[in-house]
Chain A
């Protein structure tokens, strides 16, 4: 039943969504985050997905690469849309400490009643700024797929820049993890 619901809701969403190609090479996400890609990605353009961009290699029901660029103080993460659901909204605040930002992402990723377990949190130079990297596992409630994920982020001038990738722990996460790590290493948070 879940499968049908998931498939159908995604199909219904398709009326207002398009997929665009993100070409290999330098790409600017938002106004201040640039990444350099070794190979193309697909970007799903859901009107309701802001403030994030969703990229995927295999399709929305498989892997998801969320990229947040320039989330400002007080901005609500995914106020509506496929990740949202009916539960609480989580907002970013400039004064948040790293552990609080990670907790915010945990909350966001659990809003669809999925489970979340933090496996690792460590310092990371993201986009040229002092940031963090975390790994987690998750069971996606809607279809019971067991996922692994990795996230990177940093705050610059009070704005949050982050990327989170998750995919099934079997085959898909191992297949793309190194690609995602490589993209994170190329990230640059620009001054303007």
Chain B
């Protein structure tokens, strides 16, 4: 984005936004963030949005789906603060238990980070790339513009909405497109995010990887939910383009750290929970791409390998049993084998009629995890196998 584009994007903003100091060099790699925002007047549309988000935040605060682990939340909060610098006191991070790739920052400063995102990124820099992008939307107050733009599309929606339920569907589609961030907003947020990453000492090159990784997963999606896929890519610049843009930006913002170790250390305790949630989505092809990527990357290899075995076993297509068994065996042979890997070996050996292997593995599983939820059930399998 050159200076003119950036200014024209700013031109769409309200008068207050115009007053912001917006500097852009030819490379588009410089950015002067606005000062902290005051609370908008309650009678304005922006004030209304803030208030609605305040109420959303209140219900989020009370939700059992929000992770209360102080160490994890403060870790995410600290990254937001490094990126947001002056705006740190206005950003409140929440980690929400949902197994999808998502982060979202509301105009009132509420930052939601879904556990599916934390499971997917490979290091702190990749997480910072997504958080920085969201902070970029926040700093440019894109959601307010979006709200206003939606109003202008209302006449069309009205016509579509007048003809009963069929119309309602059409109307929803219009509303959905009206409320998505436009491509210009996404590009701007990418650029600002990259700049904030660089300032905070992160390796900007990691931001492009977030998109290539997500693209791999989405490509694998098996007839799941085309609407979700479509809306993600209809409203964002296409990942290849985005990835290329970000790679270009990264070249002008070299250096920085990836934060692999810190990220691995802070998230390790939660991986098992997050992987369980991931597997329960039943989007096996996507999960396989995700898990294989992490295994190749060396992230919590034994656990990822075990869960890849689980995905193969649950999918149960031709050849899956053998793949599952291979993964369970690899996980079981590792230095820190998950107890459930032996359960997996036992279950598959049992199905394949390999009695002694099944008995050995299931017995070992119960030795390692005597209080496992399915212990009583596994004992009946053992009794059958040894009778």
| Chain A interface residues toward B at CB < 8 A | 1-2, 86-88, 90, 97-100, 103, 106-107, 110-111, 113, 115-123, 132, 139, 141, 144, 146
Given contacts A86-B225, A123-B377, contact A144 B65 (CB under 8 A): yes
Contact between chains at A1 and B56 (CB < 8 Å): yes
Between A and B, 24 residue pairs with Cβ closer than 8 Å are: A1-B56, A2-B59, A87-B225, A87-B282, A87-B283, A88-B281, A90-B282, A99-B347, A99-B374, A99-B377, A103-B314, A110-B280, A111-B282, A113-B98, A115-B277, A118-B374, A120-B376, A121-B373, A121-B377, A122-B374, A132-B377, A139-B64, A144-B62, A146-B64
Complex-state Cα separation, A100 to B225, whole angstroms: 24
B387 interfacial by beta-carbon distance below 8 Å? no
Contact between chains at A100 and B374 (CB < 8 Å): no
Contact between chains at A98 and B377 (CB < 8 Å): yes
Residues on B with C-beta less than 8 A from A110 are 277, 280-282
Select B314's contact among A100, A113, A115, beta carbons within 8 Å. A100
Contact between chains at B228 and A86 (CB < 8 Å): yes
Can you name 4 extra interface pairs (CB under 8 A) apart from A97-B347, A107-B280, A146-B64? A86-B228, A120-B374, A120-B376, A139-B97
Q: Which residues of B53-68 are within 8 A (CB) of A?
A: 56, 59, 62-65
Residues on A with C-beta less than 8 A from B34 are none
Contact between chains at A120 and B373 (CB < 8 Å): yes
Given contacts A100-B316, A118-B374, A119-B373, contact A139 B65 (CB under 8 A): yes
Contact between chains at A141 and B65 (CB < 8 Å): yes
Complex-state Cα separation, A67 to B380, whole angstroms: 25
Contact between chains at A87 and B280 (CB < 8 Å): no
Question: A132: nearest residue on chain B (CB-CB)?
Answer: B377
Contact between chains at B280 and A121 (CB < 8 Å): no
Complex-state Cα separation, A110 to B276, whole angstroms: 11
Complex-state Cα separation, A57 to B314, whole angstroms: 34
Residues on B with C-beta less than 8 A from A97 are 347, 351
Complex-state Cα separation, A115 to B114, whole angstroms: 14
Question: B380: nearest residue on chain A (CB-CB)?
Answer: A123
B335 interfacial by beta-carbon distance below 8 Å? no
Q: Which residues of B98-119 are within 8 A (CB) of A?
A: 98
Contact between chains at A122 and B64 (CB < 8 Å): no
Residues on A with C-beta less than 8 A from B43 are none
Chain A interface helix/strand/loop/mixed: mixed
Residues on A with C-beta less than 8 A from B380 are 123
Residues on A with C-beta less than 8 A from B11 are none
Complex-state Cα separation, A98 to B378, whole angstroms: 10
Question: B378: nearest residue on chain A (CB-CB)?
Answer: A121
B254 interfacial by beta-carbon distance below 8 Å? no
Given contacts A87-B225, A97-B351, contact A106 B377 (CB under 8 A): no
Q: How far is the CB of A131 from chain B (nearest CB, A)?
A: 11
Contact with A along B335-354 (1 / 0, CB 8 A): 00000000000010001000
B370 interfacial by beta-carbon distance below 8 Å? no
Complex-state Cα separation, A1 to B63, whole angstroms: 13
Question: A139: nearest residue on chain B (CB-CB)?
Answer: B64
Select A118's contact among B97, B225, B283, B373, beta carbons within 8 Å. B373
Question: B277: nearest residue on chain A (CB-CB)?
Answer: A115
Q: How far is the CB of B97 from chain A (nearest CB, A)?
A: 6
Q: How far is the CB of B6 from chain A (nearest CB, A)?
A: 34
Residues on A with C-beta less than 8 A from B166 are none
